[in-house]
């Protein structure tokens, strides 16, 4: 907790605001707790920083508050040893975005309008109070095991194991089959992995296996599964074949299984001879048993999947399962039942891989027979990245013919198969007589079939919400591709997303680096990601805990286990420091040293709220997600957007960390509305912490009930979804909300 | 089209197409930039996108029965803009080259015309023919291989007698060529006619009127060349110069032939060669020759400066250019060397001129110049069918 704070103003960022006047305001308001308050012409100047250092020395300051530009810039400049530094965003959120009550924008050189000065003072006051409620976190001591466990000995797993060993880590590689190699073992060739990327070649899996089996740092356990994974990153205990191994972090490269070809029935699979899947065709090629000279590779599977990957899968068994779930709730802690997530959707989702595989296998046909003819009938040829060169090369090959086509039927006709198709590039409907038809193989991730990890976590043995991703072990596909919903476990290869060998290799290396980062971060007691290096951690005041289990249930990362009674058991290195638990707790048991209920609550309470809304305007608090909404507001200001002078913006770690008490505080204080700006949620969520904005939205219903009871209109509290690039929309959202507040009139609690 | 078409790719055909100028055809990925970019392609079923996919799939029947290949005037816009370097323009000219082989009689000549390795055969026929005549005439009539008149003047007719050698041979050649074209044209139109009948909506213009329209609206004005893009105006100018030069030289030949043969009947219209340089017919001939050379220079220069990566000239292109150059240069040189009075050179050059002219005319239906007739036929046909 900072007790002696130096407050500094950056006149170069303040525009028409007078830094000296604000400094005088600080001195008169805070007196001895802010012994130094001054304005510099340019805060970033070396001389200014030298002066601050001298002030710290002279006045024994333990906190420094810098008022000027957004904290998102120049953060590397202001590092003062031994004091807590915080920033007040007077430039973007105050001066630049200021618009007077009548809509006018003051010109350069004008005197600062009263509302602007009021706003600046509010922000400065909030900054000082925040610092006064900010402590220095001291993370717990933590010993970590420098062992990386790799699940799966296929292409990705072997790469990851080798990579981790090369970086000096011990590796345990677990493979469920009796031998290493995985799916790559069964491939005749791979789509090109090297320049000029025009010809398929042998995979080179044998070399990868040798590299791993010959490496002293890698312990290979074949014919085994991970039976249990307990503990926390850095200190996991993995049970394999009944034996326990200490493990630091895990690379999950469990791969995939071919989709059950029964779904391909409508396209002749199982009824028409010589209709095979790509996986079966690869086997034929590998064993040299290719006899078909004319082969149709059908990539357009809309006959089976309807062609729309966004259409909901109709789940015939759904009602039965809902019943089961209802029963489960009654018996409280029901045993985990794995739901098989394999569906017809794995077919279109795998299209990018299927497309390149079709190119490769079409080449097999022409390699085997000089007069071979391979037809590729697609809806969309999805060829990613450098594979474009392979596509070009295949296209240029005499015997390979491609066309967009709607498949109308696949039927046997004597020894031949007739493929009928419409809407082709040739114009009109066509029929094609071939000797063999190859249908794509859907890539079903191992995690869809089985809880591979077998976590001993309160939230269950598998990753949560896998149904959002058809079973693929991916959590935040936009920002952090390797992260799963369990800190310490990083997914690579086809268990994460359908991909070719080249991408799997890159994936394996990325996931390995993440795993190493995790072990190293855990060792230093800091967060891994996305708040990399964050020293803070949730502190529990168990005296007041009522064992309501909200925190343990809501934690998006399963960081909290609990004991018999339901008291939460924190696992620090599983935690990502989002504060969702803090937002959940009705008893305000959970806090961070530098981010807590009291801190934000005080900031809200210290906003000046005039009694007469008609004369002096309303006041609205914006709780803005610091990851996306806050930068969006910054960008809006930089691009010349203006917004109401009555809002006060407070950054929060995540909307998930917003505790209902803050809203109650604001309302009882007389604040007229609370806007919560957070990330998009739902299937295409953008939340850094996956669930934050979604949980906030759910809690809002409870808040609404409370407000109703108090006699306050619940729509005074509203949540908005903002993407980081929607700076152009944010001002309109604020405007819309302000209009609503003006219509509603003042908060009935005002003046009490 | 409710009826399904059974597709039977003919990969041998694709190979042949690649050999006569369409080597990049498989690079097409069907974006249709070419069809959009083409300034003269019709709005419905535009070429050359569909030809590209037919070629890549080896759909021989569709391609060889397709009049659209003749609508293309080969400006190269499609090939310039093709993102894949598939050169649709080259494919269409390859298809035309293939048509010269396919629709004409005596397919052997078509084969000889398709590759430089047979060039010697093509040259050998007229070379031997004219050498034999030269030999006979020198030994039995002229008395010398390089005969000169009493004043030292050189008269080619004294060695290569018009009445006995040149005119009969060329008339035979000419009418033979016309017969070949007649047969070829019938084959061409037959190939356009789809199986069954095509329903044409509205009133159909008579075929002859269509031909008249094509001649006057398109060919005389070179309208399609203009439509192909103003940035290629050198191409239009060059082609037009060559076209009208040939027209002029044809008029000259016609007038001289009529004057010569008609002179036997009506002395009043008799024309005797060589003509005086101030004779209007001679002036027309010389102007035609100059136009031919200038036009050829423009066209050759354009072709030479073409980027191979965009549009590649094939053997058919170069054969025709070189034969016309040979005709023009030997023609001009024989006139000059005749005026200069050097018999050895003059007669040799004139002999070469005869060889070149015979090659130009005798092989016309199989050469790229066959488009004079076949493109006209196709343009007339599609106009008749209402495809614009």
User: In the predicted model, is pLDDT for residue A242 greater than 60?
Assistant: yes
Task: Say yes or no: B82 and B149 in one domain.
Answer: no
Residue A328 lies in a domain: no
pLDDT value at position A326? 45
Cα distance between residue A591 and residue A597, in whole Å: 7
Minimal Cα distance from B25: which residue of A?
Answer: A396
- In which band, very low, low, confident or very high, does the pLDDT at A221 lie, cut at 50, 70 and 90? very high
Chain A residues close to B6, C-beta within 8 Å? 430-433
Task: Say yes or no: B325 and B207 in one domain.
Answer: yes
In chain B, how many domains are there? 2
Closest to A501 measured CA to CA, from A60, A126, A193, A58: A193
Here the CATH number for the domain that contains residue B94 is: 1.10.1060.10
pLDDT value at position A329? 46
Residue B365 lies in a domain: yes
Per residue in A379-417, pLDDT (tens digit) is 999 999 999 999 999 999 999 999 999 999 999 999 999
pLDDT value at position A255? 95
Cα distance between residue A309 and residue A274, in whole Å: 28
Cα distance between residue A57 and residue A145, in whole Å: 41
Closest to A553 measured CA to CA, from A484, A645, A464, A623: A464
Identify the domain containing residue B280 by its residue range: 108-385
Task: Say yes or no: A460 and A564 in one domain.
Answer: no
Task: Say yes or no: B167 and B71 in one domain.
Answer: no
pLDDT value at position A617? 93
| A484, containing H or E segment | none
Task: Say yes or no: A449 and A429 in one domain.
Answer: no
Per residue in B181-200, pLDDT (tens digit) is 999 999 998 888 765 556 66
**Of the ranges A682-686, A748-752, B97-101, B204-208, the best mean pLDDT one:** B97-101
pLDDT mean over A354-364? 97
Here the CATH number for the domain that contains residue A384 is: 3.50.50.60
Minimal Cα distance from A424: which residue of B?
Answer: B53
Task: Say yes or no: A736 and A601 in one domain.
Answer: yes
In contact, A703 and A660? CB cutoff 8 Å: yes
Chain B residues close to A401, C-beta within 8 Å? 9, 56-58
List residues of B whose CB lies inside 8 A of any A CB: 1-9, 11, 14-15, 26-30, 45, 50, 53-54, 56-59, 62, 84
Measured CA distances, B345 to B147, B151, B342 (Å): 12, 18, 6
Percent of chain A at pLDDT > 70 equals: 96
| Domain C-terminal end among B88, B103, B118 | B103
Identify the domain containing residue A236 by its residue range: 147-258+444-524
Percent of chain B at pLDDT > 70 equals: 96
Chain A residues close to B84, C-beta within 8 Å? 392
Residue B1 lies in a domain: no
pLDDT value at position A318? 44
Residue A172 lies in a domain: yes
Chain A residues close to B53, C-beta within 8 Å? 403, 425-426
Residue B11, min C-alpha distance to chain A (Å): 7
Residue B2 lies in a domain: no
Residue A9 lies in a domain: yes
**Three-class SS state of A518:** helix
Name A721's bridge partners: A678
In chain A, how many domains are there? 5
In contact, A208 and A259? CB cutoff 8 Å: no
Minimal Cα distance from B59: which residue of A?
Answer: A426
Task: Say yes or no: B74 and B124 in one domain.
Answer: no
Of the listed ranges A159-168, A645-654, B198-207, B327-336, the one predicted with least confidence: B198-207
Task: Say yes or no: B31 and B77 in one domain.
Answer: yes
Residue B95 lies in a domain: yes
Chain A residues close to B56, C-beta within 8 Å? 395, 401
pLDDT value at position B152? 78
User: In the predicted model, is pLDDT for residue B43 greater than 60?
Assistant: yes
Q: State the average pLDDT for chain A.
A: 92
Residue A318 lies in a domain: no
Cβ-based neighbour number of residue A662 at 10 Å: 24
**Cβ within 8 Å of residue A744, ≥6 positions away:** A672, A713, A715, A716
Cross-chain Cβ contact B4/A373 below 8 Å:
no
Residue with the bigger pLDDT between B342 and A205: it is A205
Task: Say yes or no: A116 and A162 in one domain.
Answer: no
Task: Say yes or no: A43 and A107 in one domain.
Answer: yes
Cross-chain Cβ contact A398/B27 below 8 Å:
no
Residue with the bigger pLDDT between A150 and B277: it is A150
Cross-chain Cβ contact B54/A426 below 8 Å:
yes
Task: Say yes or no: B149 and B77 in one domain.
Answer: no
pLDDT mean over A248-275? 95
- In which band, very low, low, confident or very high, does the pLDDT at B203 lie, cut at 50, 70 and 90? confident
pLDDT mean over A152-170? 97
Task: Say yes or no: B55 and B139 in one domain.
Answer: no
pLDDT value at position B33? 94
Residue B138 lies in a domain: yes
Here the CATH number for the domain that contains residue A1 is: 3.40.50.2300
Task: Say yes or no: A436 and A453 in one domain.
Answer: no
Cross-chain Cβ contact A403/B57 below 8 Å:
yes
Chain A residues close to B7, C-beta within 8 Å? 426, 430-432
Task: Say yes or no: B173 and B264 in one domain.
Answer: yes
Residue A84 lies in a domain: yes
Cα distance between residue B340 and residue A268, in whole Å: 84
Residue A265 lies in a domain: no
Residue B305 lies in a domain: yes
Per residue in B256-302, pLDDT (tens digit) is 888 888 888 888 878 877 788 888 999 999 999 999 999 999 999 98
| Domain C-terminal end among B103, B137, B160 | B103
Residue A366 falls in which region: left (phi positive, over 0), alpha (psi -120 to 50) or beta: alpha
Task: Say yes or no: B261 and B118 in one domain.
Answer: yes
| Domain C-terminal end among A414, A441, A468 | A441
Task: Say yes or no: A500 and A463 in one domain.
Answer: yes
User: In the predicted model, is pLDDT for residue B44 greater than 90?
Assistant: no
Residue A618 lies in a domain: yes
Of the listed ranges B77-86, B357-366, B378-387, the one predicted with least confidence: B378-387
Chain B residues close to A416, C-beta within 8 Å? none
pLDDT value at position A478? 66
pLDDT value at position B201? 65
| Domain C-terminal end among B79, B103, B127 | B103
| Domain C-terminal end among A468, A495, A524 | A524
pLDDT value at position A428? 81
| Domain C-terminal end among A136, A165, A187 | A136
Task: Say yes or no: B138 and B262 in one domain.
Answer: yes
What's this model's pTM, rounded to 2 decimal places? Answer: 0.85
Task: Say yes or no: A498 and A555 in one domain.
Answer: no
Cross-chain Cβ contact B4/A432 below 8 Å:
no
The ipTM, to two decimals, is 0.83
Cross-chain Cβ contact B14/A398 below 8 Å:
yes
pLDDT value at position B4? 78
Instruction: Convert B272-341 into a string of H (helix), E (strand) and C (coil).
Output: CCCCCCCCHHHHHHHHHHHHHHHHHHHHHHHHHHCCCCCCCCCHHHHHHHHHHHHHHHHHHHHHHHHHHC
Task: Say yes or no: B143 and B225 in one domain.
Answer: yes
Cross-chain Cβ contact B15/A432 below 8 Å:
no
Task: Say yes or no: A572 and A625 in one domain.
Answer: no
**Cβ within 8 Å of residue A595, ≥6 positions away:** A536, A579, A582, A653, A657
Minimal Cα distance from A397: which residue of B?
Answer: B26
Task: Say yes or no: A177 and A287 in one domain.
Answer: no
Task: Say yes or no: A435 and A458 in one domain.
Answer: no
Measure CB to CB from residue B27 to each of A396, A399, A433 and give the nearest one: A396
Instruction: Convert A296-355 into a string of H (helix), E (strand) and C (coil).
Output: EEECCCHHHHCCCCCCCCCCCCHHHHHHHHHHHHHCCCCCCCCCCCCCCCHHHHCHHHHH
- In which band, very low, low, confident or very high, does the pLDDT at B145 lie, cut at 50, 70 and 90? confident
Chain B residues close to A429, C-beta within 8 Å? 1-5
Of the listed ranges A150-154, A305-309, B170-174, the one predicted with least confidence: A305-309
Task: Say yes or no: B98 and B143 in one domain.
Answer: no
Cross-chain Cβ contact A432/B7 below 8 Å:
yes
Cross-chain Cβ contact B4/A420 below 8 Å:
yes
Task: Say yes or no: A175 and A212 in one domain.
Answer: yes
Chain A residues close to B4, C-beta within 8 Å? 420, 428-431
Cross-chain Cβ contact A398/B26 below 8 Å:
yes
pLDDT mean over B233-247? 90
Minimal Cα distance from B24: which residue of A?
Answer: A396
pLDDT value at position B61? 86
Residue A319 lies in a domain: no
List residues of A whose CB lies inside 8 A of any B CB: 371, 373, 392, 395-399, 401, 403-404, 420, 425-433
User: In the predicted model, is pLDDT for residue A316 greater than 80?
Assistant: no
Order of strands, sheet of A170-174, starting from the edge strand that comes earlier in the sequence: A218-221, A170-174, A147-151, A249-252, A489-491
pLDDT value at position A549? 92
């Amino acid at each position: 907790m900072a007790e002696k704070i130096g407050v500094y103003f950056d006149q170069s960022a303040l525009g028409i605001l007078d830094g000296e006047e604000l400094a005088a305001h600080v001195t008169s308001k805070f007196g001895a707790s802010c012994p130094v308050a001054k304005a510099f012409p340019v805060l970033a100047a070396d001389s200014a920083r030298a002066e601050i250092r001298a002030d710290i020395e002279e006045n024994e300051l333990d906190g420094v508050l810098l008022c000027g530009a957004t904290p998102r810039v120049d953060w590397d400049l202001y590092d003062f040893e031994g004091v807590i530094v915080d920033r007040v965003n007077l430039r973007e959120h105050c001066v630049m975005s200021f618009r007077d009550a009548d809509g006018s924008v003051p010109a350069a050189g004008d005197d600062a309008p009263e509302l602007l000065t009021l706003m600046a003072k509010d922000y400065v006051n909030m900054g000082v109070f925040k610092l006064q409620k900010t402590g220095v976190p001291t993370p717990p001591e933590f010993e970590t095991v420098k062992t990386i466990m790799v699940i799966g000995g296929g292409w990705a797993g072997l790469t990851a194991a080798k990579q981790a060993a090369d970086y000096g880590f011990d590796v345990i590689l677990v493979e469920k089959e009796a031998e290493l190699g995985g799916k790559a073992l069964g491939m005749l060739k791979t789509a090109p992995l090297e320049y000029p990327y025009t010809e398929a070649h042998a995979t080179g899996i044998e070399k990868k296996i040798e590299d791993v089996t010959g490496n002293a740092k890698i312990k290979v356990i074949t014919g085994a599964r991970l039976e249990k994974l307990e503990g926390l990153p850095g200190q996991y205990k993995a049970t394999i074949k009944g034996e326990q191994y200490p493990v630091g972090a895990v690379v999950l490269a469990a791969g995939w299984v071919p989709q059950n070809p029964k779904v391909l029935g409508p396209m002749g699979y199982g009824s028409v001879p010589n209709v095979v899947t790509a996986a079966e065709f690869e086997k034929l090629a590998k064993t040299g048993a290719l006899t078909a000279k004319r082969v149709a590779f059908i990539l357009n599977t809309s006959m089976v999947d309807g062609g729309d990957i966004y259409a909901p899968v109709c789940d015939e068994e759904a009602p039965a399962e809902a019943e089961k779930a209802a029963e489960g709730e009654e018996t409280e802690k029901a045993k985990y039942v794995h739901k098989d997530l394999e569906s017809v959707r794995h077919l279109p989702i795998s299209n990018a891989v299927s497309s390149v595989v079709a190119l490769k296998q079409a080449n097999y046909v022409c390699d085997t027979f000089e007069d071979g003819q391979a037809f590729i009938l697609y809806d969309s040829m999805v060829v990613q990245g450098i594979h474009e060169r392979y596509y070009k090369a295949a296209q240029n090959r005499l015997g390979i013919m491609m066309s967009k086509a709607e498949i109308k039927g696949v039927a046997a006709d004597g020894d031949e198969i007739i493929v009928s198709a419409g809407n082709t590039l040739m114009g009109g409907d066509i029929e094609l007589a071939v000797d063999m038809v190859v249908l794509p193989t859907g890539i079903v991730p191992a995690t869809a079939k089985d809880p591979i990890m077998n976590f001993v976590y309160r939230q269950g043995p598998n990753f949560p919400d896998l149904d959002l991703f058809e079973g693929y072990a991916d959590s935040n596909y936009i920002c952090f591709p390797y992260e799963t919903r369990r800190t310490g476990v990083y997914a690579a290869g086809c268990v994460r997303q359908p991909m070719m060998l080249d991408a799997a290799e890159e994936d394996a290396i990325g996931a390995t680096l993440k795993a190493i980062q995790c072990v190293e971060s855990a060792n230093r007691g800091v967060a891994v990601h996305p708040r990399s290096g964050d020293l803070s951690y949730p502190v529990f005041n168990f005296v007041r805990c009522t064992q309501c289990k909200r925190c343990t249930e809501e934690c998006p990362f399963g960081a909290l286990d609990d004991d018999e009674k339901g008291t939460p058991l924190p696992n620090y290195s599983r935690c990502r420091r989002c504060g969702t638990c803090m937002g959940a707790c009705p008893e305000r048991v959970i806090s961070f040293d530098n981010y807590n209920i009291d801190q934000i609550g005080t900031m809200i309470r210290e906003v000046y709220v005039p009694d007469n809304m008609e004369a002096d305007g309303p006041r609205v608090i914006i709780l803005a997600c610091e990851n996306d909404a806050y930068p969006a507001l910054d960008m809006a200001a930089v691009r010349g957007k203006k917004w109401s002078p009555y809002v006060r913006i407070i950054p929060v770690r995540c909307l998930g960390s917003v505790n209902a008490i803050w809203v109650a505080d604001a309302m009882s204080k007389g604040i007229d509305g609370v806007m919560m700006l957070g990330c998009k949620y739902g299937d295409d969520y953008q939340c850094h912490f996956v669930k934050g904005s979604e949980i906030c939205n759910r809690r809002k219903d409870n808040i609404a009930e409370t407000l109703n009871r108090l006699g306050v209109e619940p729509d005074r509290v509203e949540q908005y979804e903002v993407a980081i690039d929607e700076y152009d929309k944010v001002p309109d959202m604020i405007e819309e909300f302000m209009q609503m507040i003006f219509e509603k009139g003042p908060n009935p609690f005002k003046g009490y | 089209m409710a009826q399904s078409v059974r597709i039977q790719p003919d990969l041998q055909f694709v190979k042949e197409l690649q050999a006569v100028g369409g080597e990049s055809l498989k690079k097409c990925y069907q974006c249709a930039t070419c069809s959009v970019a083409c300034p003269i392609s019709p709005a419905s079923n535009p070429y050359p996108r569909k030809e590209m996919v037919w070629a890549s799939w080896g759909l021989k029947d569709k391609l060889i029965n397709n009049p659209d290949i003749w609508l293309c005037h080969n400006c190269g816009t499609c090939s310039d803009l093709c993102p894949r370097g598939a050169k649709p323009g080259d494919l269409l000219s390859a298809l035309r080259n293939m048509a010269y082989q396919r629709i004409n009689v005596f397919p052997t000549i078509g084969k000889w015309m398709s590759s430089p390795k047979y060039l010697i055969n093509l040259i050998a026929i007229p070379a031997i023919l004219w050498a034999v005549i030269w030999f006979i005439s020198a030994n039995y009539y002229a008395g010398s291989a390089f005969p000169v008149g009493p004043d030292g003047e050189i008269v080619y007719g004294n060695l290569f007698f018009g009445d006995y050698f040149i005119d009969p041979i060329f008339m035979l050649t000419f009418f033979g060529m016309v017969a070949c074209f007649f047969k070829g044209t019938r084959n061409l139109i037959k190939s356009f006619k789809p199986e069954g009948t095509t329903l044409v909506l509205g009133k159909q213009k008579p075929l002859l009127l269509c031909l008249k329209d094509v001649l006057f609206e398109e060919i005389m004005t070179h309208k399609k060349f203009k439509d192909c893009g103003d940035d290629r105006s050198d191409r239009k100018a060059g082609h037009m110069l060559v076209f009208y030069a040939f027209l002029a030289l044809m008029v000259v030949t016609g007038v001289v032939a009529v004057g010569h043969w008609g002179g036997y009947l009506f002395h009043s219209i008799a024309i005797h060669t060589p003509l005086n340089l101030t004779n209007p017919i001679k002036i027309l001939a010389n102007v035609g020759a100059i136009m031919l050379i200038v036009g050829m220079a423009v066209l050759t220069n354009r072709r030479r400066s073409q980027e191979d990566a965009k549009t590649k000239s094939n053997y058919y292109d170069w054969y025709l250019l070189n034969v016309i150059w040979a005709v023009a240069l030997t023609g001009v040189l024989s006139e000059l060397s005749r005026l200069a009075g050097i018999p050895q050179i003059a007669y040799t050059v004139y002999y070469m001129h005869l060889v070149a002219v015979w090659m130009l005319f005798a092989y016309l239906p199989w050469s790229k110049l066959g488009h004079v007739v076949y493109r006209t036929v196709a343009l007339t046909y599609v106009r008749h069918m209402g495809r614009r």
